[in-house]
Amino acid sequence: SDPLVIAGKTYQSRLLVGTGKYKDFVETQQAIETSGAEIITVAIRRTNIGQTAGEPNLLDYVPPNRYTMLPNTAGCYSAGEAVRTLRLARELLDDHKLVKLEVLGDPHTLFPNMPETLAAAKTLVAEGFEVMVYCTDDPIQCRMLEDIGCVAVMPLASLIGSGMGILNPWNLKLIIDQARVPVLVDAGVGTASDAAIAMELGCDGVLMNTAIAGAQHPVLMASAMKKAVQAGREAFLAGRVPRKTYQAAPSSPTSGMIGTTAG
């Protein structure tokens, strides 16, 4: 009744998760299942989905007939690298079109390289990919990515793996208010409330990996994140009370029933 629609396909969950950093594929599987996520992102350059015969294959644990796979270009520092990586993913996944583009600016911050991201997006869209794109929280460049034809924009909350939460909710709000494609926060979420805040701002979804995989108890954190994204979405739809910095109003009508004079 409140689905997320990306590239024409409908999803019930607004939490997207990654597959990196888990102890093993069993834990990956358990956390993903608990999270309720339907879209699972995979770093093609780091995860075996069939390229390496004889090694454990993620797809045996996270089967593509059950989940929507979202190949990503983690570790790519140029448009060329990213495009080549996603072409490979398309081959490995039987002409799969939905992808996550990420082109990084340097290995220390993992901050996006926006000129390369814009260039790669143009190529990929022209080649028929459905491009969800990791980017900075720059409303103008988000609009450019949308104009290029990306199916979702995914601004960072904060640096990948930092767990710092949403550092600039105002930029995020600018992006959300103008976007005509889904806006998902990608990177930087550290704990449940960060995910809830993203949804309360009006984001269409949240993508995370480290916050779950790096928690002391990943499966429990996956449960927390599932509920947090739902809570944030419902709070957004429910219409929160306005903030009043100063004058408190009593929680009950002041025309008291008993004792208001006699005490």
Which residues ranging from 156 to 215 are in contact with a second copy (CB under 8 A)? 158-164, 167-168, 170-171, 173-174, 190-193, 196-197, 200, 209-211, 213-215
Among 8, 95, 128, 243, binds a second copy (CB under 8 A): 243
Of 26 and 220, nearer to a second copy (C-beta) is: 220
Which string of x and - marks every residue 8-47 that binds a second copy (by CB under 8 A)? ----------x-xx---------------------xxxxx
Site for a second copy in 114-143 (CB under 8 A): 114-115, 118, 136, 138-141, 143
The minimum distance between CB 42 and a second copy, in angstroms, equals 9
Whether residue 100 lies in the annotated active site? yes
Residue type, position 169, single letter? P
As a whole number of angstroms, the distance between CA 133 and CA 149 comes to 11
Active-site residue (options: 23, 100, 226, 227): 100
Task: Name residues whose C-beta falls within 8 Å of residue 78's C-beta, 6 or more positions apart in sequence.
Answer: 103, 113, 116
Q: Among 24, 94, 106, 128, which residue sits at the site for a second copy (rule: CB under 8 A)?
A: 106
Contact region for a second copy (CB under 8 A) — 4-12, 61-69, 122-130, 254-262? 254-262
Indicate the residue among 7 and 77 with the shorter CB distance to a second copy: 77
**Annotated active-site positions, please?**
100
